[in-house]
Amino acid sequence: MVKVAVSGINAVDNPGPGLGIIKGLREGKTPVSVVGLAYDAMEPGIYLTDLIERAYLLPYPSEGEAPFLNRLLYIKEREGLEVVIPALDAELPLFIDLEPRLSAYGLKTFLPTQKQFKLRAKDHLPIVAEAIGIKTPNTLAVTSYEEFTRALSQLKFPVMVKGLFYKALRAYTQAEAQQHFQAIVAEWGYPVIVQEVVEGEEMNVVGVGDGEGGHFGLLAIKKLWITSLGKIWTGVTVTHPGLLTAAENFVRHFRWRGAFELETIVSGDEIYLIEINPRFPAWIYFAVGVGINLPERLLKAALGEEPERDWDYPAGKLYIRFTDDRVTDLEVFQHMVTRGER
Amino acid sequence: MKLNRLAISEEGFIFDPETGNSYTVNETGLLILKKLREGLGPEEIAEAMSEEYEVSPEEALRDVQDFLETIARFGLWEEKAWLK
């Protein structure tokens, strides 16, 4: 029985990947006992005792390295934890920095390097896209209002106004773009990314790189139905050869290690890279459901075992997300609030 | 040719495995798609249709051309693909 901790168990309207990862681990051949890592006592995963045996609150990464490491080591001691699979962008830099120390304490991970993690910054996308043989929409990074207005005169509307790591707002007019610009500067600071909108099919690829240029499987999907937050609600598997080749180029060129998701727009024969996520997406269970259990393969890689590498999957498999309800006692919430664990 | 990669069901449900798009066609559309995949040109397909549905070859050809225009708009058909 492998004791594995997974974060991102916030299965809300902007869901974290945790529950999908956990469902994959539970469907795998390696028996697991799952510890859920949460940042808020209200995260739904805490209450799903059939998926998550034990749950703990973590301090926010912004509180610094020491409290975070201490908490992880406390959980490791209490639970006999062997592996951690972090799933949220905000905590990943910390986990990556802590990796050697966690490993010294016997806590295994399978993460990208700090250098690989930095590739996800949106001002790096053109370099990545060029290296893997695809395109990016016309993009400018600006660090002042003057640069922003100059950028707008060089780009065609509609444009996306984006923070370096988070948030993307669409603007059809100069006035709308300026409004978005102010909002993003206020929330995320500079640089702000201004990007032309490319019309086409939104397709994403998920995979796990082996860190040596190969991978433990890929899956490409198209979002068919999204929520008002842009989150997938229904999707379908696709076998777009150009997109899958680009993903293979990505793991080979950057020797990517760990989970990743490439978000693209496919317009005819052109593929545009929109975003790189250095972790599993929230729809990761889709891969499990079509027979490519990427969470289990990542777990094996973390344990130093050799995961499967086959990734034949049929196009036309459908993914359906749905809402669900659960009723439980206040006690669980009480424990999370008072003790930070259950 | 893009048409060859399509999954076409007998019910007229069409799925494109590369783009993830799906479409529905009626019986006539299904017949045209099948004939296109067999390598027939618009005139030959119109002929087959006029035999099947008791319409004049001219009328059938107009319908075929309309249909081809539609699927060309969806990127499933290129006119030059069969203009030899």
Contacting residues of A for B75, CB less than 8 Å apart: 268
Identify the pLDDT of residue B80.
62
Q: What is the average pLDDT value for chain B, to the nearest integer?
A: 90
Contacting residues of B for A203, CB less than 8 Å apart: 20
Q: Is 70 exceeded by the pLDDT of residue B83?
A: no
**Residues B36-73 pLDDT 10s:** 999 999 999 999 999 888 899 999 999 999 999 999 99
CB contact under 8 A, B19 and A222: yes
Provide the residue ranges of all domains of chain A, joining segments of one domain with +.
2-111+325-339, 117-122+199-320, 138-196
- Residue A234, judged by CB atoms within 10 A of its CB (0-12, 13-18, 19+), counts as middle
Strands (E), chain A: 2-7, 32-38, 54-57, 83-85, 139-142, 159-162, 168-171, 192-196, 201-210, 215-226, 232-238, 257-267, 270-277, 318-320
Identify the pLDDT of residue A167.
82
**Residues A301-315 pLDDT 10s:** 999 999 999 999 999
**Of the CATH numbers 3.30.465.10, 3.40.50.2020, 3.40.47.10, 3.30.470.20, which one belongs to the domain with range A117-122+199-320?**
3.30.470.20
Identify the pLDDT of residue B81.
53
Contacting residues of A for B77, CB less than 8 Å apart: none
Q: Counting runs of H as helices and runs of E as strands, what totals does chain A give?
A: 11, 14
- Residue A15, judged by CB atoms within 10 A of its CB (0-12, 13-18, 19+), counts as buried
**Residues A55-75 pLDDT 10s:** 999 999 999 999 999 999 999
CB contact under 8 A, B17 and A239: yes
**pLDDT under 50: residue ranges of chain A:** none
Hey, of B2, B4, B14, B18, which one would you mutate to test binding to chain A, going by the most A CBs within 10 A of its CB? Answer: B18
Identify the pLDDT of residue A164.
83
CB contact under 8 A, A315 and B21: no
Contacting residues of B for A268, CB less than 8 Å apart: 75
Tell me which CATH code domain A138-196 carries.
3.30.1490.20
Nearest to A97 by CA among A61, A58, A57: A61
Identify the pLDDT of residue A219.
98
Tell me which CATH code domain A2-111+325-339 carries.
3.40.50.20
Closest-CA distance of chain B to residue A223, Å:
9
b/e per residue B51-70 (b: at least 16 CB within 10 A) = eeeebeeeebbebbeebbee
Identify the pLDDT of residue A33.
98
pLDDT band, very low/low/confident/very high, at B84 (cuts 50, 70, 90): very low
Confidence check on the interface: ipTM exceeds 0.90, yes or no? no
Full-model pTM: 0.91
Any idea which residue has 């760990």 for tokens? A258
